[in-house]
Amino acid sequence: MIEAGPTLRTANGVVNLAGPVVVGVVNATPDSFSDRGDRSTSGSIRQVHRHLEDGAAIIEIGGESNVTNRPAVSAATEIGRILPVVEAAVEAGAMVSIDTYKPEVAAVALDAGAAIVNDISGSEAIAMLKVCAGRGAGMVVMHTEVAPKSQVWDEDLYPDGVTARQLCFFKERLAALKTAGVERDQVVIDPGPDFAKTPRQTVDALTGLPEIDSLGCPIMLAVSRKDFVGAITGRRPGDRSGGTFGAIAVGLELGARLLRVHDVAGTVDFLKVWRALKGIDTVSPQLRIAEEIRREPPAGTGAEVD
Each residue's pLDDT tens digit, 199-257: 999 999 999 999 999 999 999 999 999 999 999 999 999 999 999 999 999 999 999 99
**pLDDT given for residue 264 in this prediction:** 98
Q: Is residue 7 part of a domain?
A: no
Neighbour count for residue 283 (Cβ, 10 Å): 10
Mean pLDDT across 9-16: 97
Mean pLDDT across 113-131: 94
Q: Is the pLDDT of residue 26 over 60?
A: yes
51, 54, 55, 58: CA torsion to nearest 10: 0
Q: Is residue 226 part of a domain?
A: yes
- Give the whole-angstrom CA distance, residue 239 versus residue 236: 6
- Give the whole-angstrom CA distance, residue 228 versus residue 209: 16
Chain centroid to CA 281: 24
Q: Is residue 211 part of a domain?
A: yes
Q: Is residue 12 part of a domain?
A: no
Of 1-10, 23-32, 98-107, the least confident: 1-10
pLDDT in tens, 174-203: 999 999 999 999 999 999 999 999 999 999
Q: Is the pLDDT of residue 38 over 80?
A: no
Confirm if 216 and 17 have CB atoms less than 8 A apart.
no
- Give the whole-angstrom CA distance, residue 100 versus residue 42: 20
pLDDT bin (cut points 50, 70, 90) of residue 3 is very low
Q: Is the pLDDT of residue 152 over 70?
A: yes
pLDDT bin (cut points 50, 70, 90) of residue 66 is confident
Instruction: Give the rounded percent of residues in the chain with a pLDDT score beyond 90.
Output: 84
pLDDT bin (cut points 50, 70, 90) of residue 147 is confident
Average pLDDT, the chain: 92
Q: Is residue 116 part of a domain?
A: yes
Q: Is the pLDDT of residue 103 over 50?
A: yes
- The residue segments making up the domain with residue 28 are 19-293
Mean pLDDT across 152-170: 95
**pLDDT given for residue 302 in this prediction:** 56
Between 2 and 132, where is the model more confident? 132
Of 13-17, 51-55, 89-93, 300-304, the least confident: 300-304
Q: Is residue 283 part of a domain?
A: yes
**pLDDT given for residue 31 in this prediction:** 59
CATH number, domain with residue 259: 3.20.20.20
Q: Is residue 300 part of a domain?
A: no
- Give the whole-angstrom CA distance, residue 68 versus residue 227: 13
* Domains identified in the chain, total number: 1
